[in-house]
Amino acid sequence: MRKDEINLSSPVAVWKSQELCDGKVVPTLVVILRTCGCAWSRTSGCTMCGYDAESVSNVSEEDLDAQVARALSAHNSEPVVKIYTSGSFLDLREIPRPAEVFQRFLDKGAQRIVVESRPEYVETSLPLLEKSGRKVEVAMGLETASDKIRSLSINKGFTFGQYAIAAKGIKKAGARVRTYLLLKPPFLNERDAIEDCSRSIDAAAKMSDVISINPVNVQRGTLVERMWKRGEYRPPWLWSLLEALRRGHAAIPKDVMLVSDPSGGGTPRGVHNCGKCDGRVLEAVKRISLSQDAGALSIESCACRQSWEAMLDVEPAAMTTIDLARHVREGSPDAEDD
């Protein structure tokens, strides 16, 4: 769709899903509002994020009101409502009157509202969060606990310290904290990706009510996409996601939820295995996310697990993070792709 054809009075997307809320699996409404988008993506941007494609500069307050109204009309008393933008909900340039949006959904019976924001917009939003209390959950994309990886692999533009201050502020205001972690940022091999994710789960657990692992999916117009097209990036294996979930559940306190709802799972651009076992592994990921029962992880293996294990071993010795399997598969080992 061309940008001038976009209907500014419609949200980017509205869909229904499920969510574990206070120990129960409940229906969820997910709304993506079209806003002027992420300020960081306009000045610099993250290596894996292509969401700025969904943003337009000329969204008026009236347009936003109309989008919210449409989302509200889709709300059918789902207890959990996720209101996302392709940036930060708490950035007043994107959502000038966040309190009003909260109120309209709370009035329709929402019991929990999840929004996303970069940490820099949290401080000015604390009075708003204090007012809404436990009904609001703020999700922040920490991505990794390592400042080095966040800076060099992701170009996220904030530190763990800044995230931690924001998280403490949110909790102090009485709201909930959700932390996103990125599984396999570029320039990490598979083994380090798992290792980085596990360490990050440990660090984020101290700050969060919910930790959500987002395996990288290859989005358009990103550095990650260019690397992927050149055969220099492979999205994480589903086995790696399972491994990160397994290690995380063993390590973190019971009152912290650890979930994953991968986008593009089982496709070449998303977290994937060999293609034969992807469905059942994704099913296992969903099961554990909704049950928080690590026992749900035990799953029938697949021949590709041996390949995954071999890659975990060989990649560090090969001192590369290119997609080695694709490299050797492409006819002759040195045939050039695209």
- Residue 42 identity: R
Minimum distance between the CB of residue 147 and other proteins, rounded to whole angstroms? Answer: 10
d(CA 170, CA 177): 7
For tokens 């806003």, name the residue.
Answer: 35
The residue (of 43 and 298) whose beta carbon lies closer to other proteins is: 43
- Contact yes or no for 143/182 (Cβ under 8 A): yes
Minimum distance between the CB of residue 283 and other proteins, rounded to whole angstroms? Answer: 25
Minimum distance between the CB of residue 327 and other proteins, rounded to whole angstroms? Answer: 7
The residue (of 162 and 307) whose beta carbon lies closer to other proteins is: 307
- Contact yes or no for 176/134 (Cβ under 8 A): yes
Minimum distance between the CB of residue 322 and other proteins, rounded to whole angstroms? Answer: 5
- Contact yes or no for 289/261 (Cβ under 8 A): yes
The residue (of 60 and 306) whose beta carbon lies closer to other proteins is: 306
Minimum distance between the CB of residue 319 and other proteins, rounded to whole angstroms? Answer: 5
* CA angle in degrees (0–180, nearest 5) for 10-15-20: 140
The residue (of 66 and 325) whose beta carbon lies closer to other proteins is: 325
The residue (of 22 and 336) whose beta carbon lies closer to other proteins is: 336
Structure tokens that stand for 90 in this block = 């708490």
The residue (of 227 and 277) whose beta carbon lies closer to other proteins is: 227
10 Å Cβ neighbour count for 127?
9
Minimum distance between the CB of residue 237 and other proteins, rounded to whole angstroms? Answer: 12
Question: Which helix (H) or strand (E) segment is 182 a member of?
Answer: strand 176-183
Minimum distance between the CB of residue 304 and other proteins, rounded to whole angstroms? Answer: 9
The residue (of 298 and 332) whose beta carbon lies closer to other proteins is: 332
10 Å Cβ neighbour count for 77?
10
Alpha-helix residue ranges (DSSP H) falling in the chain: 39-43, 61-74, 98-107, 122-132, 147-149, 160-172, 190-205, 223-229, 238-251, 278-291, 304-318, 324-329
What are the residues binding other proteins (CB under 8 A)? 44-47, 146, 148-149, 152-153, 155, 186-189, 192, 222-223, 226-227, 230-232, 306-307, 310-311, 313-322, 324-325, 327-329, 331-336
